[in-house]
Amino acid sequence: MSAVQPKRLITHSEDFHTDDVFATAMLLDLFPDAEIVRTRDEKIIATGDIVYDVGKVFDPAKGRFDHHQAQAGKRENGIVYSGFGLLWREYGVQFCGGDGTVAEAIEERLVIPIDAIDNGQTLVTPKFDGVQPFTIDDIIAIMNPQPWAVSTEEPDAQFMKAVELARLVLSRLRTAIRNDLASQAYLLDLYNKAEDKRLIVADKAASVSGILNQCPGLLYVVSPRPSGSWGVLAVSTEPGSFVLRRPFPEAWRALMPAKLVEITGVADAAFCHATGFYAAAESRAGAINLAYRSLATE
């Protein structure tokens, strides 16, 4: 990586898209004093220190990242790089403070989906007719000036509003993934030390989804809630799945607290979700008791 800080960052003008917006957001985090120029003028493009999503050249050594060129390539999984993906490959670890694990996680969660959408590669098939997910791509798209409305919105100003939103998303995602990785390590340590692998009791809220494949015997995670009460999470069969390894009994679900106390025998039982994925009690002991009472049911 060159020690010379880029002073001029150039991307295309006209309508902006998720890839050039997020690429700009990342670059401004790394090079906050750089000037952003949006243009398709080849003479101006030639003055850029980093040029992305425009310029008809792919040459990272010269700061050129136009993914529309054949040599820009694609990943082993077949997802083609967009300008964002190419820049992430170059600067993502730097954006993450040198942490390659965090950079890889952000690429999987955010960068690859953005690249796929920009290149017209379908990731999700709608399950219900007429119902489409509202994606990060949709959010950025509506930030553009609307062509069928009388508007005084200026394209470059709207672009920078979208970039600020993207900077917030990237920053929050980076923090969230760092926290998730730390909490997963914490829970995995608890699981490995637990005598009863069916249940983990954590003294702070932590993310379990990323370690499910490493914890085949795990059914419930007990942890504190912000209110001071304690919750019990019934874990999924695998990351991203809504199928539970051991849901709470149907007879417990969506009951008022008094009825839940009566049917479970747990004096401070407070809640059981209608889908059976979560229950809560007023105390740590009560939450643990709920978990074991659930395990004892047929």
- Split at pLDDT 50, 70, 90, the class of 228 is very high
Specify which residues 271 forms β-bridges with.
280
Residues 166 and 210 in one domain: no
Q: Is residue 267 assigned to a domain?
A: yes
Residues 161 and 204 in one domain: no
Residues 122 and 203 in one domain: no
Q: Is residue 186 assigned to a domain?
A: no
What amino acid occupies position 118? Answer: D
All residues at 6 or more sequence positions from 93 whose CB lies less than 8 Å from its CB, including other chains: 99, 100, 103
- What pLDDT shows up at residue 1? 45
Q: Is residue 157 assigned to a domain?
A: yes
- What pLDDT shows up at residue 185? 94
Q: Is residue 183 assigned to a domain?
A: no
- Split at pLDDT 50, 70, 90, the class of 97 is very high
Residues 57 and 169 in one domain: yes
List, for residues 167-187, the tens digit of each pLDDT value.
999 999 999 999 999 999 999
Q: What percent of the chain has pLDDT over 70?
A: 98
Q: Tell me the residue ranges of DSSP E strands in the chain.
A: 8-11, 35-38, 50-52, 58-59, 64-65, 199-201, 220-224, 230-234, 269-272, 278-281
- Split at pLDDT 50, 70, 90, the class of 270 is very high
- Split at pLDDT 50, 70, 90, the class of 3 is low
Residues 75 and 212 in one domain: no
Residues 111 and 227 in one domain: no
Cα(237)–Cα(152) distance, integer angstroms: 51
Decide which of 177, 202, 236 is a domain's last residue. 177
Domain residues for the domain of 129 are 8-177
Residues 256 and 116 in one domain: no
Question: Which two tokens mark 281?
Answer: 């009690």
Residues 23 and 161 in one domain: yes
Q: Is residue 264 assigned to a domain?
A: yes
- Split at pLDDT 50, 70, 90, the class of 44 is very high
Q: Is residue 184 assigned to a domain?
A: no
Residues 159 and 245 in one domain: no
Residue 171: helix, strand or coil by DSSP? helix
Residues 243 and 111 in one domain: no
Decide which of 118, 150, 177 is a domain's last residue. 177
List, for residues 100-129, the tens digit of each pLDDT value.
999 999 999 999 999 999 999 988 888 899
Decide which of 151, 177, 203 is a domain's last residue. 177
- What pLDDT shows up at residue 290? 98
Residues 156 and 26 in one domain: yes
Specify which residues 65 forms β-bridges with.
52, 58
List, for residues 189-223, the tens digit of each pLDDT value.
999 999 999 999 999 988 898 899 999 999 999 99
Domain count, the chain: 2
Kindly compute the dihedral angle of the four CA atoms of residues 195, 264, 297, 285, in this order, to the nearest 10 degrees.
0
Q: Is residue 3 assigned to a domain?
A: no
Q: Is residue 1 assigned to a domain?
A: no
Q: What is the mean pLDDT of the chain?
A: 94
Question: Which two tokens mark 183?
Answer: 């909490």
Residues 65 and 97 in one domain: yes
List, for residues 149-172, the tens digit of each pLDDT value.
767 889 999 999 999 999 999 999
What amino acid occupies position 277? Answer: F
